[in-house]
Structure 1
Amino acid sequence: MYNELRKQVCWINKQLSFYHYRDKKKVEVDIIIEDAMGDCFAIEVKASVTLTTKDFAGLERFKSIAGSRFKQGILLYDGDHTTAFGDRLFAVPIGALWA
């Protein structure tokens, strides 16, 4: 998924840095994309058709740490619908990357 996202962002004319987030409690986010202004977008990938609020734990943790730098959290999953899961957090079908 990381490599596919790298290919997709080549269309954006911005300098972007890619990171992985993991804290001491092993809460993690698969991909953090940071732009030159320091704004961050967090992406988590789940191979599940159904989601719960627990699936957003890493995104929530990173959101609280990043503060105003956090712009949006996306959980890519194997479902069919884009759904809001709170403030600036969304579940998006993985297939949306190729739509």
Structure 2
Amino acid sequence: MKPLVCSNSDQQCQKVLLKLRTKAPELVQKAEFKCATKQGSLFLIVSEQAVDIRCGFFATSVWDDNGDGLVDNEDPVSVDISVGTFKR
């Protein structure tokens, strides 16, 4: 499971993450688990009202065009979803 981390140069992210880990550790742990089940990477979207913990991952759609049970086409798509929100 990949923990939520901030780059060394992103001071805002580091401050927000420290606050999240202090005030809502269970929210961060749940977000890390949810994202790990999708083999994704966590990131934060910060606004004045809330911090949205998001998970970015690849989802693949597959098609069996001729009904033989084998994949004939696939389409990987980059997706991000909210896995937790902390009201500020």
**TM-score exceeds 0.5:** no
Give the structure-2-normalised TM-score: 0.32
TM-score, length basis structure 1: 0.30
Rg (Cα) greater in structure: 2
The answer to which structure, 1 or 2, has the higher relative contact order (CA under 8 A, 6+ apart) is 2
